[in-house]
Amino acid sequence: MSIYHNYQAVAESGLGIGNFFNISISDDVVFLLGWHSHDTIENCKKLGYEFVWDNLNNRLISENKKIKIILAPKPF
């Protein structure tokens, strides 16, 4: 796919770009980086994303199609 198509996929995904502080879009993949919050996790789960805990990097990660979501714990 092209960057344009991946951009459209993010816009139409229902994930809400306001839930993420960094969005990276390339021809091959989309990365969404946000804070670990109950609302964001529940919204993603409703859209079919399942999270696993990444012990090495202390974060939640999920992948659905070409969209990868990373949720990090919010710093104090």
The predicted pLDDT at position 28 comes to: 87
The predicted pLDDT at position 34 comes to: 96
CB-based contact 34:41 (threshold 8 Å) = no
Tens of pLDDT along the chain (76 residues) come to: 688 888 888 888 888 888 999 999 988 889 999 999 999 999 999 999 999 999 999 999 998 878 999 999 988 7
Distance of CA 44 to the CA centre of its chain: 8
The predicted pLDDT at position 20 comes to: 94
Q: What is the DSSP string of 40-66?
A: HHHHHHHTT---EEETTTTEEEEEETT
Q: Please provide residue 42's backbone torsions phi and psi, each rounded to the nearest 5 degrees.
A: -65, -40
- Residue spans of the domains in the chain: they are 3-72
The predicted pLDDT at position 5 comes to: 86
